[in-house]
Structure 1
């Protein structure tokens, strides 16, 4: 958790990344899996002459819904995190006992970081936070939060939109479905490759693992009639 808070005389805080690499790849993969599942479900439940168009709308609607849900949850999480930081600073300023303030900072540290930080390291942070003279009465949204939510929405929708395109341009439903599934597997490989390269777990191995998951999901959908 970020326990620092800018004092009035400091420079404005620079916004960090909306999502880290792992989060971005995960959101993309979740969207691809959902689109793959929804398309198979529509094919199984509602075949017909206009099934291709319906499957395009279903895949697109799935992507839009997933992107909207992610954007809303980002706003909820952002406000909750900001409120938690504000409560932490208010606690430090309210408590006269320095040990209580240091303990509050320690409790806010991530579990893996907490054993590595000494109380002496936290005391300068406590002192600076205690000196902040102006605090908002409550956590509130900023303009950048909505920009971030829009970015997440576009990431999910545009990242998974290619899966729906074959149903719009390929007339034969079976061919469009195969093309959509192949595109999904290719994108899953790219996402897994990027994740493996970032994490050091092996880019090719991670990419093939994502493809294997996609193949298993596709086989399950086909077995269920999709």
Structure 2
């Protein structure tokens, strides 16, 4: 007598990262570009044994401040997005007219997705919202907001070190400047490579484009006297 096949076990829910690859790469590049602009002002740093130290801590202080500001804005942006989604859900739930509620959902779709979703699928979403007994009264902060904000802050601050650390470790400012710019371009290439692979836009191509962006910024800084 044949035995029944075992029931398939449900797979554990995959945990989504708080910061996706785009978030991580853009924040890292933001920190690199901020540090690069300060390193470009190396000629403005007075001569002396502590010139490299001043430059390093100036760049670090800048990225600490901008990292904090960016982290706060990350939390604000998440809360605003969550509030917008809650407002949409509440409006659909309250609307007794099915056609009107479906149209509200359709209006909220991104333009690229709107042609791919038909009214029957939107009606299923409307029905689920209508069946909900309650919705949260307001958008609230969640743990992931603060974890993500910490990640944003650290990415911006960490980007300071490969750009500005050579000035702290190497006495020859010309050599330190060359090493700093080479490290910056290498990091930009790696960041672009990761972004291109994640988005399907071509890892090598995106890496070179990001590197060219860094070169263009470096040339602009030099032309401006940096």
Pairwise TM-score range, normalised by the shorter structure = 0.7 to 0.9
Q: Please, what is the CA RMSD of the aligned residues?
A: 1.9
Aligned to 1:27: 27
Q: How has the CA–CA distance of structure 1 residues 178 and 64 changed in structure 2, closer, same or farther, with 3 Å as cutoff?
A: same
Q: Distance in 1 between matches of 2:71 and 2:15?
A: 17
Aligned to 1:48: 47
Q: Distance in 2 between matches of 1:130 and 1:159?
A: 47
State the secondary structure of the residue aligned to 2:46: coil
Contact 2:35-2:159 within 8 A present in 1 as well: no
State the secondary structure of the residue aligned to 2:89: helix
Aligned to 2:157: 157
Contact 1:39-1:59 within 8 A present in 2 as well: yes
Aligned to 1:220: 220
Q: How many residues get paired?
A: 213
Question: How many angstroms does 1:57 deviate by?
Answer: 0.8
Q: Deviations over 1:44-80 (max 9, x none)?
A: 3332213211110122122222321221111111111
Larger Rg: 2
Aligned ranges 1:6-17 → 2 under 5 Å: 16-17=16-17
Structure 1, unmatched stretches of 5+, are 1-12
Aligned to 2:177: 177
Structure 2, unmatched stretches of 5+, are 1-12
Aligned to 1:8: none
Contact 1:63-1:161 within 8 A present in 2 as well: no
State the secondary structure of the residue aligned to 1:17: coil
Whether 2:187 is the aligned partner of 1:203: answer no
Aligned ranges 1:1-226 → 2 under 5 Å: 16-41=16-41, 43-49=42-48, 50-226=50-226
State the secondary structure of the residue aligned to 1:140: coil
Question: How many angstroms does 1:14 deviate by?
Answer: 7.8
State the secondary structure of the residue aligned to 2:107: helix
Q: Distance in 1 between matches of 2:15 and 2:62?
A: 30
Q: Deviations over 1:148-198 (max 9, x none)?
A: 211221122224432221122112222222211111011011111222222
Q: Distance in 1 between matches of 2:25 and 2:32?
A: 11
Q: Distance in 2 between matches of 1:212 and 1:34?
A: 16
- Scaled by the length of structure 1, the TM-score of the pair is 0.86
State the secondary structure of the residue aligned to 1:55: helix
Q: Distance in 2 between matches of 1:224 and 1:215?
A: 14
Contact 1:28-1:160 within 8 A present in 2 as well: no
